[in-house]
Amino acid sequence: MRVPRYAWSLCKIAAKESTRYAINGINFYVKKGKGYAVVTDGRRVAEFSWPIDEDEVFAVATLPREACIAARALKSDVELTSRDGRLVISVGDEVAHTVSTAASDGKFPNVNEVIPKYQDDDANTIGVDPILLAELLMAVDTLSPELVKLVVPNDPKKPILIQARGDSGSATAVLMPVKLDR
Q: What would the pLDDT profile of 118-164 be if each residue is shown by its tens digit? A: 776 777 778 888 888 888 888 877 766 677 888 888 888 888 888 88
46: closest CA among 67, 68, 17?
68
Residue 163 burial by CB count (10 A; 0-12/13-18/19+): exposed, middle or buried? middle
Contacts of 50 (CB under 8 A, 6+ apart): 3, 4, 7, 34, 35
In Å, how far are 3, 109, 158 from 77, measured between CA atoms?
Answer: 6, 26, 38
Mean pLDDT value across the chain? 78
d(Cα 82, Cα 56) in Å, to the nearest integer? 13
| Res 141: pLDDT | 74
Kindly report, as residue ranges, where domains of CATH 3.10.150.10 are found in the chain: 2-113
Res. 104 pLDDT band, cuts 50 70 90: low
Q: Kindly state which CATH superfamily the domain 2-113 is placed in.
A: DNA Polymerase III, subunit A, domain 2 (3.10.150.10)
Using 50, 70 and 90 to split pLDDT, how confident is the model at 95?
very low
> What is residue 60's predicted lDDT score, i.e. its pLDDT?
76
pLDDT for 8 equals 87
pLDDT tens-digit map of 41-55? 877 888 899 998 877
Of all residues in the chain, what percent carry a pLDDT higher than 70? 82
Query: What single-letter amino acid sits at 26?
Result: I
